[in-house]
Structure 1
């Protein structure tokens, strides 16, 4: 196994630790480079994932000389899963991550911050609440959602023909999904579904315009994105929480009004992120299509945009390309190193 090979379940190249964060237990992986770390990077996963979702990036980032901190986010894996929705707001999660980060860099230190899916939404918000903490921020797939001065419920927005790619979220924020997905066998089917498994006829069991098609779950073939060992790792991580095991993770979809209320102070002044920023879109992402990012440049002083030929699961499907973009951006924009030109190679 080379140092850059992706992590495997229980991989000894990282430590598995917990921390008490604002009254909650957070579980995280910690990867340390040889010698003094050049920087600390915190990676934030989305739904339905765990910190292990960054398995293709963690060894690579360690090889760059980074200390890598990868939590299971609230509701997931070895981290607490409160029943109420308030702890799952973007501000609350940002405050949690800021406290976790300061355990490594102190009150005056800085981190590089990266996110995917819901993790992307969090990492775009955290610099607005804790700007001095962030040395650079990047997101894979998730565009920047600016603070809004008016609230419109997702159901009403979709009824107008806008954000129809988010229609699945209406299912997720309701009771149906967590009621139907309980126990290890259903979790196994759920992950196979969400990570692109298809029936023998080539039909998916998830559609962004409908959500999970529960009647197809038991006829899915294995997902090409998860090995059997990886699938079982996900199942065991989620099954560690009492049924309904998806209640905590799905609470993230139930915080829209709360996020709006907490964002009000941010919406009162123009939003500009000053630190180096990177967005890597995925060309085949049906939930977060690249065109959603077309108007976000105005919110950034130093934004780099890249794209990969992958689905929503770009972290694994296009791992080497994603790593290359992140690495180049860290070296050139965050560390301000001169990158070699093609003519000098």
Structure 2
């Protein structure tokens, strides 16, 4: 099994482009060595990541015989940055994933039960939220679904802004989202150098006195001088950081507007999901949730009671911060591989 992480511009994958639903999506795609793929895996990244964030997982799936597709989500790299916030809603993004799967798989590929274009769908951070919503809106698309760090939250019949939750003493770990949804971060982090310093902070770089660039209570450090003094990220090599910055700067100015728009759609999501809330009972497809035990943004408590929403839920944990895809990549990969070996049909399991 190939466990060598992708390098920037790695020949095992290529970037392609698709025009779907009025948006341009760029995505990494890798094909297995065998002539006919075992299946297709879609991997959805979160903030402030990109398709390359799955660099430790993509080689593993390729070596298992899967075709792998990792989109750059809206607002990232060469993918569109729509002006209208409704295009960033979970429903809109779920529809995009359905359309992109149709584009990649074509009209002739069938799932094991005859359904056209079924995929295995995985996500992390916002990508985890996306995959659960694709499972809600387009269950026929999914053969199996997994999320790393992001627990499932059922559609709600009641709207409450984050400010009210915080005032009531709830969801303190989401306080940073108020800053990200506001104007300050995108207004301050504007140049390639700023983006590099910002990413070092988000991915764990520390200053000479242990200073950090991000906390869940305060958000991003906006003193650019302080941000510049942060040391290297333990999770990004210099070449990887350079690649991230290059990809961020493919967006029109300001380069962080797109990534931050994901924090500006909570009311839109609620309004669109109200029609699901009354009738929702369970997701029927095989599902895996891997929690990170030291995730400050998505603590374990958020996943309490998830089981009641699934017919086939497997749970796992890794000893990691929020960046489990990199920090605990071997453990994450092993749990996903073991789960797939249990839940996929026998004819597919035999090829793994």
TM-score normalised over the length of structure 1: 0.95
**Separation (CA, whole Å) in 2 of partners of 1:214 and 1:174:** 13
- Give the equivalent residue in structure 2 for 1:47: 47
- Say if 2:85 is the partner of 1:77: no
Shift of 1:336: 5.0
- Say if 2:104 is the partner of 1:104: yes
**Residues 177-221 of structure 1 deviation map (CA, whole Å, 9 limit, x = unaligned):** 101110111001100010011111112121101101222312100
> Residue 41 of structure 2: SS of its match in structure 1?
strand
**Separation (CA, whole Å) in 1 of partners of 2:30 and 2:194:** 32
- Give the equivalent residue in structure 1 for 2:88: 88
- 1:235-274 matches, within 5 Å, as 235-274=245-284
**Residues 228-275 of structure 1 deviation map (CA, whole Å, 9 limit, x = unaligned):** 000010001011112111111111100000000000111020331000
TM-score normalised over the length of structure 2: 0.94
- Say if 2:154 is the partner of 1:141: no
**Residues 120-174 of structure 1 deviation map (CA, whole Å, 9 limit, x = unaligned):** 0000010111111100000000000110001000111111111110000000000
**Residues 309-341 of structure 1 deviation map (CA, whole Å, 9 limit, x = unaligned):** 1100000001111100111111111235899xx
**Residues 80-138 of structure 1 deviation map (CA, whole Å, 9 limit, x = unaligned):** 11122111100000000001111233462210000000000000010111111100000
Kept after mapping to 2: 8 A contact 1:332/1:338: no
Segments of 4+ moved more than 4 angstroms? 336-339
- Give the equivalent residue in structure 2 for 1:6: 5
> Residue 263 of structure 2: SS of its match in structure 1?
helix
Change in Cα spacing, 1:97 to 1:206, as seen in structure 2 (3 Å) is same
Question: Aligned residue pairs: how many?
Answer: 339
- Give the equivalent residue in structure 1 for 2:341: 331
- 1:210-229 matches, within 5 Å, as 210-215=218-223, 216-229=226-239
> Residue 214 of structure 1: SS of its match in structure 2?
coil
Change in Cα spacing, 1:93 to 1:338, as seen in structure 2 (3 Å) is closer
> Residue 127 of structure 1: SS of its match in structure 2?
helix
Q: Please list every run of 5 or more consecutive structure 2 residues that lacks an aligned counterpart in the other structure.
A: 108-115
**Separation (CA, whole Å) in 2 of partners of 1:201 and 1:304:** 41
Kept after mapping to 1: 8 A contact 2:18/2:103: no
Kept after mapping to 1: 8 A contact 2:198/2:213: no
Kept after mapping to 2: 8 A contact 1:83/1:247: no
Kept after mapping to 2: 8 A contact 1:21/1:99: yes
- Give the equivalent residue in structure 1 for 2:58: 58
Kept after mapping to 2: 8 A contact 1:56/1:315: yes
- Say if 2:197 is the partner of 1:189: yes
**Separation (CA, whole Å) in 2 of partners of 1:218 and 1:67:** 40
- Say if 2:29 is the partner of 1:30: yes
Shift of 1:78: 1.3
Change in Cα spacing, 1:90 to 1:338, as seen in structure 2 (3 Å) is closer
